[in-house]
Amino acid sequence: MKKLLSLLLAVAMVATMLTGCGAGGSANKVGVSMPTKSLQRWNQDGENMKKLLEAAGYTVDLQYADNIVETQVSQIENMINSGCKVLVIAAVEGDSLGTVLAQAKEKNIPVIAYDRLIMNSDAVSYYATFDNYMVGTKQGQYIEQELGLASGAGPFNIELITGDPGDNNARFFFGGAMDVLQKYIDNGQLVVKSGQVDFDTVATQSWSTENAQNRFDAIISANYADGTKLDAVLASNDSTAMGVTNSLEANYAGNHDNWPIITGQDCDIANVKNMIAGKQAMSIFKDTRTLAAKTVEMVDALMKGGEAPVNDKETYDNGTGIIPSYLCEPVFADVNNYKELLIDSGYYTADQLQ
Edge-first strand listing for the sheet containing 124-130: 59-64, 29-34, 86-89, 111-114, 124-130, 325-328
Distances (CA, A) of 121 to 35, 117, 319: 18, 10, 7
pLDDT (tens digit, 9 = 90+) per residue, 125-145? 999 999 999 999 999 999 999
Pick the more confident residue, 28 or 3: 28
Closest to 256 (Cα-Cα) out of 224, 279, 232, 235: 279
pLDDT of residue 128: 97
Report whether pLDDT(26) > 90: no
pLDDT (tens digit, 9 = 90+) per residue, 278-298? 999 999 998 988 999 999 999
Domains, the chain, with CATH or none: 8-130+287-329 (3.40.50.2300), 132-286 (3.40.50.2300)
pLDDT (tens digit, 9 = 90+) per residue, 154-206? 999 999 999 999 888 899 999 999 999 999 999 999 999 999 999 999 999 99
Angle, vertex CA 21, rays to CA 17 and CA 24, nearest 5:
95
List residues bridging with 108 in a β-sheet.
Answer: none
Percent above pLDDT 70 for the chain: 91
Strand, helix or coil at 1?
A: coil
If you average pLDDT over residues 11-34, what whole number do you get? 55
Strand pairing class (282-285; 331-334) = antiparallel
* Whole-prediction pTM: 0.79
Instruction: For 223-238, give the DSSP string.
Output: HTTTSPPP-EEEESSH
Alpha-carbon distance 44 to 40, whole Å? 7
Kindly report which listed range (19-33, 103-117, 231-245, 306-320) carries the lowest average pLDDT score.
19-33
Quick one: three-class SS letters along 87-129? EEECCCCCCCCHHHHHHHHHCCCCEEEECCCCCCCCCEEEEEE
pLDDT of residue 253: 62
pLDDT (tens digit, 9 = 90+) per residue, 234-252? 999 999 999 999 999 988 7
Give backbone dihedrals phi and psi of 315, rounded to 5 degrees, phi first. -85, -45
Mean pLDDT, the chain, rounded, equals 90
pLDDT of residue 157: 98
Alpha-carbon distance 137 to 153, whole Å? 20
Name every residue whose Cβ is closer than 8 Å to that of residue 207 and which is 6 or more positions away in sequence.
39, 163, 164, 167, 237, 239, 240
pLDDT of residue 15: 32
CB 90 within 8 A of CB 44: no
pLDDT of residue 252: 75
DSSP H or E segment with residue 174: helix 168-186
Would you mind telling me the total number of residues written for the chain in this entry?
354
Report whether pLDDT(318) > 60: yes
List residues bridging with 350 in a β-sheet.
Answer: none
pLDDT (tens digit, 9 = 90+) per residue, 67-126? 999 999 999 999 999 999 999 999 998 889 999 999 999 999 999 999 999 999 999 999
